């Protein structure tokens, strides 16, 4: 259980996380559970999954912060908990796609694994009872979910995050096929707010494929039978250098990369793409 649960007020419990009142105003304790959030009936709970997702998400959020992408992460507290900034969550799931997979293949008859001409950003309304329907920018603004300037900021951040994470994962021999983001409004004052990345960025929210074998290392593994989910997630953590005692990082040629080298490669890739679009 949470180190804070006996003392802190529970604010919300979802499929994969619990939110507790933070130690200071404007802060929240985010606790990572071992429950599997609706991916497959093959797994209900996987011991240790929350620990790995917390470690990986903390690492990725920290790296995004280093390149100026605002996130809700304040610090990693322990194996299962983060201290995060309190935000007003925008009820939209933002999916960034680099390769044809999942529902994109079903909707458009694409070949699975085919690289897309460019990254595609999709929006889904967070309504479990409606199975999270896809929505357009017109729906989002018409329904008052977010304003047009907010959508523009979300799109810009999503593309920047995609550039950085794609480079980082490429540096450790993984293709980032697609991933999900959530954003929130952080109120800096009575009249000032900003859009920041919230929730988590972990294998639970990504499709990750090994560049040599195409082995799945993201949430699609929940649909496989007799797969060692923890071993796959630990491999992602090891390649990123989150757990330096595990196997080393490798690039697409099999050469060993340190965590710092992988992060630096991702940063340079993002900067190059930004300079090219300026």
Contact 241, 266 (CB under 8 A): no
Q: Superfamily for 10-87? A: Phosphorylase Kinase; domain 1 (3.30.200.20)
φ and ψ of 87, to 5 deg: -135, 160
pTM for this entry: 0.84
Domains of the chain, by residue range, sit at 10-87, 89-277
Q: Which residue has the higher pLDDT, 41 or 27?
A: 27
Within 10 A of 207 (CB to CB), how many other CB atoms are there? 22
pLDDT of residue 29: 97
Nearest to 14 by CA among 214, 210, 198: 198
Cross-strand partners of 175: 209
Contact 153, 137 (CB under 8 A): no
CATH number of 89-277: 3.30.470.20
pLDDT in tens, 188-199: 888 899 999 999
Q: Which residue has the higher pLDDT, 257 or 267?
A: 267
Instruction: Write down the residue that tokens 């991916």 correspond to.
Output: 39
Nearest to 169 by CA among 55, 26, 269: 269
pLDDT in tens, 152-162: 999 999 999 99
């Amino acid at each position: 259980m949470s180190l804070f649960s006996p003392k802190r007020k529970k604010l919300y419990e979802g499929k994969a996380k619990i939110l507790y009142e933070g130690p200071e105003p404007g802060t929240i304790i985010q606790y990572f559970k071992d429950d599997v959030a609706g991916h497959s009936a093959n797994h209900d709970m996987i011991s240790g999954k929350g620990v790995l997702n917390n470690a990986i998400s903390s690492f990725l959020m920290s790296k995004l912060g280093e390149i100026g992408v605002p996130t809700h992460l304040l610090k990693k507290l322990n194996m299962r908990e983060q201290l995060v900034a309190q935000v007003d969550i925008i009820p939209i799931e933002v999916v960034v796609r680099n390769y044809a997979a999942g529902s994109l293949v079903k909707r458009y008859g694409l070949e699975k694994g085919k690289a897309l001409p460019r990254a595609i950003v999709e929006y889904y309304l967070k309504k479990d009872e409606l199975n999270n329907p896809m929505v357009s920018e017109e729906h989002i603004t018409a329904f008052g979910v977010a304003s047009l300037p907010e959508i523009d900021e979300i799109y810009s951040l999503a593309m920047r995050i995609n550039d950085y994470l794609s480079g980082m994962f490429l540096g450790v021999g993984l293709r980032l096929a697609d991933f999900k983001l959530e954003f929130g409004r952080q109120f800096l004052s009575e009249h000032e707010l900003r859009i920041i990345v919230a929730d988590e960025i972990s294998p639970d929210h990504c499709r990750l494929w090994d560049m040599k074998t195409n082995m799945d290392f993201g949430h699609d593994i929940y649909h496989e039978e007799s797969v060692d989910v923890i071993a796959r997630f630990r491999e992602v953590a090891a390649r990123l250098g989150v757990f330096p005692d595990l196997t080393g990082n490798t690039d697409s040629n099999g050469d060993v990369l340190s965590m710092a080298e992988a992060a630096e490669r991702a940063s340079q890739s993002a900067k190059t793409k930004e300079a090219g679009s300026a």
